[in-house]
Structure 1
């Protein structure tokens, strides 16, 4: 009886006769190893909180994707109402007017402003525009009013005044508050340009530098809990793999003649 017990031979034969089972076993091994690697990575790195869908890095990154061009025949009186851009339709404006509980924030954000014109220094430049919340990854159809003020002597940061319903704005981690401007500068009305701008049209581009301090991270307690669950699940998968290996090693595969006799006995 002991001479028939050949675990290595049984394992090889069972594997050769059951390719789907082998593929399933390999997937389990890779999955468990991946979880272990991710767990070890999280021990030395802080992870972003996946439950937070809105943060200022995402908002500013979305804003930097658009080119803002000066509106033709624009006047400063239009600042009283949300600025209708080509991406803001009439229904959105009506919906925005019905929305209350607006919040206005004046923040110092890591945005750089550049232009296609040779107008010289942009220090003190103030731009005003409006977006639909969904375009900035904030969700909803409410209007988000934005005013950008280029800081003098600071090329890496811009003052951003954003006005929108409070439920749209990420309030967990706010950029530092921007100091109040001592100058009363008339804003330049700009709009999102969907088509390539004309050669004579002045447009502005925004460049965003990711700021890790604006991303909501997992707390140490939350991260340790996630690591514990990952490790437990990895050990469970490895145990399943071990059971599959032992089952294949201790089970002698039926030979073709034995299998034929077995089916005839069933008939």
Structure 2
């Protein structure tokens, strides 16, 4: 019978079973990770993982495309590269299933863009980061160029200008994200451009370098991100603490099992030799 010597028995088990040691360390690291994530979530803002599409993602996807005018030029992209304009012939359907939205968004234009111009294009919902049925819908967008409007206030009370653009959307109601949206464009700003917008095609950044194409620079707005509430963070921490405690209990049980003595293969070989000698007699 072996004696219960925890330290020496545990050292012996570690040297004989490396896979068990790796498994034990993996559980311990995972438990500590859950504990750290739970503590981190209580003191920091965390994006809600259940909200896959918000306005920041939509605007960021729009900024990932180039908008090219002069569609009849040979070097410019063909109009078929961009979906056709959405036509709403049924006026009764417009009021019930589609919507027209004018939002003041943090988009700035890059390159030489003519002043006092509006650019219109049509994009698929999938190009704007939408999923499900909204990914197959077409969205008309109109961008009012060179629209810098003062938005933020400094702690001293003075206005600080930030590049904002008035962006018009026309699409089915279910296409728009049901999350906090940017502010609406001022009435004077939305009516300022009376000339018809210039038709443009939305193409991927790497496809065209035409001088008639321009890009957008997007600055994410933290106010448009859906964060976890206090109750949701408390529930998340509760589940993480339970998972961490369960893993720690398993680690303790594995450690206790390793402190008990076990017969080595040599002892079993010695018993077999003794049995063979007795049988030979």
Shorter-chain-normalised TM-score: which range? Answer: 0.7 to 0.9
Q: Deviations over 1:107-127 (max 9, x none)?
A: 111111122x3x6xx553311
Q: Does 1:108 find its partner at 2:117?
A: no
TM-score normalized by the length of structure 1: 0.82
Q: Which runs of 5+ in 2 are unaligned?
A: 150-161, 276-281
- Paired residue secondary structure (1:167): helix
Question: Which residue in 1 is equivalent to 2:14?
Answer: 15
- Paired residue secondary structure (1:106): strand
Q: How does 1:218-257 map to 2 (within 5 A)?
A: 218-249=228-259, 251-257=260-266
Q: Deviations over 1:29-49 (max 9, x none)?
A: 111111111111111112111
Work out whether residues 70 and 212 of structure 2, in 8 Å CA contact, stay in contact via their aligned partners in 1: no
Out of 147, 150, 163, which is 2:145 matched to?
A: 150
Cα distance change on mapping 1:149 and 1:262 into 2, 3 Å: farther
Number of residues of Structure 1 aligned to a counterpart in Structure 2: 246
Q: Does 1:197 find its partner at 2:189?
A: no
Question: Which residue in 2 is equivalent to 1:258?
Answer: 267
Give the C-alpha shift of residue 253 in structure 1.
Answer: 2.6
Work out whether residues 103 and 185 of structure 2, in 8 Å CA contact, stay in contact via their aligned partners in 1: yes
Cα distance change on mapping 1:32 and 1:262 into 2, 3 Å: farther
Give the C-alpha shift of residue 85 in structure 1.
Answer: 4.3
Structure with max Cα Rg: 2
Which stretch shifts more, 19-28 or 251-260?
251-260
Which stretch shifts more, 163-172 or 97-106?
97-106
TM-score normalized by the length of structure 2: 0.78
| CA distance in structure 2 between the partners assigned to 1:191 and 1:179 by the alignment | 27
Question: Which residue in 2 is equivalent to 1:67?
Answer: 66
Q: How does 1:17-32 map to 2 (within 5 A)?
A: 17-32=16-31
Cα distance change on mapping 1:143 and 1:84 into 2, 3 Å: farther
Cα distance change on mapping 1:208 and 1:259 into 2, 3 Å: farther
Moved segments of 4+, more than 4 Å: 96-100, 261-265
Work out whether residues 111 and 156 of structure 1, in 8 Å CA contact, stay in contact via their aligned partners in 2: yes
Q: Does 1:159 find its partner at 2:159?
A: no
Question: Which residue in 2 is equivalent to 1:173?
Answer: 180
Question: Which residue in 1 is equivalent to 2:42?
Answer: 43
Q: Which runs of 5+ in 1 are unaligned?
A: 75-82
Out of 195, 210, 222, which is 1:185 matched to?
A: 195
Q: Deviations over 1:140-184 (max 9, x none)?
A: 211111111135443511111112222221022111111122321
Question: Which residue in 1 is equivalent to 2:130?
Answer: 138
